[in-house]
Amino acid sequence: MDGDNDALDQTVDPEDLGPIHIDVPCVTCGYNLRGLTIEKACPECGTAAGRSVMGDQLEYADPQWVGRLAMGMNLIIGGIAVAVVFTLFGRPTWLFPAAFQAAADRILSRIDEALFLIGCWYLTASEPRHKVAGFGAATVARVGLTAGMLIGLPLFAIANLALPIVVHLTMIAAAVASVTGTIGLAIHARGLALRGPYEELANRIRSVAIVYVVGIVLAVIISVVDAVTATPGGGRPTWLSSRMLRRMGGCMARVLIVGFHVWALVVVVQFRWAMVHAAAKARSTWASTV
């Protein structure tokens, strides 16, 4: 998807493009760059003129900022890797002296989430050229995911003491915040992919997000139906009581959920590659020199 761009980098010398012949405001200070060639710097603030001309492409954006996006994706992948390893092999509390194992286990149990959250903050860092950050998908992602983690935290301490209704409401609030944050993150990531430009990847991110939302809506409907139709004795009405049917449904749901996670992980890994690639390019183009 980037073969064409590589060819372009090698064959087009910015100098050959000639001076900018229309009014183009500098992305940093607004100075009119008309008359400059795009490899020159803005005389007012020193930002590469090319950054203002080449539109939104990541490789012509602030290299430090694109580097932050790549760093964010590395942390997110790191968090996912830790979660997978811990799930498969258990948490390595044996690394710590016996007296600290309980505390270590508590910290280790949140480390994947912490890596993921820090990665999300890097990935949603506001671009330097936008002096005032708007309330966009990036903000929704930050607020939602952070709130989801913080609201859930005290549950560890109060789960045994608090009234069941309080625990339930806290869990619902944490889940709503996390889901909202995840949707915000997907919209933000799709926007970044479009600026790669990695259009196919952007489409894949949208598909994953749509399936995610449909899955959440289905899960909510199923649990509401379950709660409403449960009889006080704990039994199920006849149409739901076939054990075989329920077991088959549960099995299929599990296969679908695992399949979705694998698919989403592949897209996340591709997105990480895209951001690392964009960061390397942003550092190597002439836009990074000034």
Residues that bind Zn ion (CB under 5 A): 26, 28-29, 31, 42, 44-45, 47
**Least distance in Å: CB of 272 to Zn ion?**
32
> What's the rounded Cα separation, in Å, for the pair 182 and 267?
14
Contact of 43 with 34, CB cutoff 8 Å? no
**Least distance in Å: CB of 128 to Zn ion?**
12
Backbone angles phi, psi at 19, to 5 degrees: -70, 155
Q: In the complex with Zn ion, which residue's Cβ is closer, 45 or 153? A: 45
**Least distance in Å: CB of 130 to Zn ion?**
15
> What's the rounded Cα separation, in Å, for the pair 29 and 216?
44
> What's the rounded Cα separation, in Å, for the pair 211 and 205?
10
How many of the other CB atoms lie within 10 Å of CB of 119? 21
Q: In the complex with Zn ion, which residue's Cβ is closer, 43 or 92? A: 43
- E strand or H helix at 130, and its extent? none
Task: Name the β-bridge partners of 32.
Answer: 25
Q: Which residues contact 211 (CB under 8 A, 6 or more apart)?
A: 260, 263
Backbone angles phi, psi at 167, to 5 degrees: -60, -45
Q: In the complex with Zn ion, which residue's Cβ is closer, 43 or 235? A: 43
Residue 176, both tokens: 């709503």
> What's the rounded Cα separation, in Å, for the pair 119 and 173?
22
Q: In the complex with Zn ion, which residue's Cβ is closer, 34 or 254? A: 34
DSSP codes of every residue in 27-49: TTT--B-TTSBTTSBPTTT--BH
Contact of 53 with 33, CB cutoff 8 Å? yes
Residue 230, both tokens: 């449960």
Q: In the complex with Zn ion, which residue's Cβ is closer, 131 or 243? A: 131
Q: In the complex with Zn ion, which residue's Cβ is closer, 15 or 44? A: 44
Q: In the complex with Zn ion, which residue's Cβ is closer, 124 or 285? A: 285
**Least distance in Å: CB of 261 to Zn ion?**
45
**Least distance in Å: CB of 286 to Zn ion?**
16
- E strand or H helix at 11, and its extent? helix 3-11
**Least distance in Å: CB of 282 to Zn ion?**
18
**Least distance in Å: CB of 47 to Zn ion?**
5
**Least distance in Å: CB of 46 to Zn ion?**
7
Q: In the complex with Zn ion, which residue's Cβ is closer, 47 or 178? A: 47
